[in-house]
Structure 1
Amino acid sequence: MNTATLGFRAPIRDSIEAIARAGFGAIAPWRRELAGEDVTAVARAIRDAGLGVSGYCRSTDIPAATPDAFRAGLDLNRWAIDEAATLGAACFVMVVGGMPEGSRDLPGAREQVREGIAVLAEHARGAGVRLALEPLHPMYAADRACLNTLEQALDLCTALEPAHDGAPTLGVAVDVYHVWWDPNLFRDIARAGADRRLLAFHVCDWRRETRDMLNDRGMMGDGVIDIPAIRAAVEGAGYDGAVEVEIFSAADWWLRPVEETLAVCAERFATVV
């Protein structure tokens, strides 16, 4: 259970307890929820609840308007990678950022991402943390992520960390909300599996008539995504990690009681995922 699904309404310890009571096996917390917290104590609370940590969300944007801002962003990401290590997270999710405010230089933003990931991969390798590059739907290319297809993400992984005998540090997060439309999706899932780069799998649904670009994801089964087909491809390519629910839903699920949201997620896991 990605804690974003619960709308960030409760302290992290309350979310841990609710998710464990509902029968889920893992949690994916966000950095905003751990601000001011003792991360070691939170990690202990997660373990004591019987949960794993499927991922830690998410990176500070990499592209920046000035060299100083670029370096500052890398410092924040190093700090977060260390927190992911403390949590024992299966991966640190990299939502890389779009173009800096006022910029029209999309290739330049992507080059900054390349430079930044190269630096952060070294730090992550030393910390024992795997970086899951998450391509976002192209509608977010300007402001949230200039990495927009699974192919782009895998090309970047391969360029910065060629295949070798050990487990790679760089991999990908496959979020059905962002990739379901891609005509090359199944080809690239197979490629990611062959390269051992499938690090995370996120599910929700795409409403046929989406009301908000960011905060109107659907509950699994309420939209148009063929989630079972994508899950079968991901698991057929070798992924054996958690299937993580991540739903941003300001006008619907974030307004419902947490217990109801968790119960419906569990029911949909059993019937439509």
Structure 2
Amino acid sequence: MASSFKQKRTSLHEHKQLRQERYELLQQLTDWLETPMVVLGFGWLVLLGVELIWGLSAELELLSTIIWIIFILDFLLKLLLAPARRAFLKANIITMISLLVPAVRVLRLARVLRLARAARGLRLVKVVGSLNRGMKALAASFGRRGLGYVLGLTGVVVLVGAAGMFAFENKEPGGLQSYSQALWWTAMLLTSMGSDYWPRTAEGQTLCLLLALYGFAVFGYFTATLATFFMGREANSEEGELAGAAQVAALHDELRQLRHELSTRQKDSPNH
């Protein structure tokens, strides 16, 4: 009985140690591949924009396929090393789906899916998945916090989102006829100014909703950042209406000196 309990305890300890080793190896691999994957992530976004606006040449399509294969190998290797594979899949579900979409083109399954709606739906998934990968690349470059990260992410969302809207809406009657028009429309949408145009396709409407939600979130962030900036300048100004840290500290010093003088006078008073 005691021997069986000891064996189970040893087995549990070995299992925990193995999970820890796999986690450390995964972290080392992630750190080692971070820079190359960031570069490939930005390259993937550029190729996606070219594909959505003008289409890819044979050489660029080959380059896109090579990058896609590298992404798949990176994903499978990290999945193999992940201590909790189910949790890893849940955390990277959008990445996994976006990696499956190019297989339709590579395996020529698009001939089976002759419906234009199905092709546009797959393209929408690819756009969203690529934006998610771009977000991770920017997070690795700037850090998840800070104005630089938000500005960079907003730029990527505007450029790629406009390319997606153009790809979905350019063939519709009265649709977005140029990328510059789609870029202007996307910028107006994110700044909450809007325009008279409303997407005609279901994919364009879905992407429009996602862009509007992002614009709503980032508008609040920029508003808070600007308010903090101007309040900080007001607080640091001696002529400002707000009391800053320097003014409060000076007031404390004056009160301390006043207490010291009162205490000194009381000690020197004849009636004390």
Normalized against structure 2, the TM-score is what? 0.24
Q: Say which structure is richer in helix.
A: 2
Task: Flag the structure with more relative contact order, 1 or 2, with Cα contacts below 8 A and sequence separation at least 6.
Answer: 1
Give the number of the structure whose alpha-carbon radius of gyration is greater.
2
Q: Say which structure is richer in strand.
A: 1
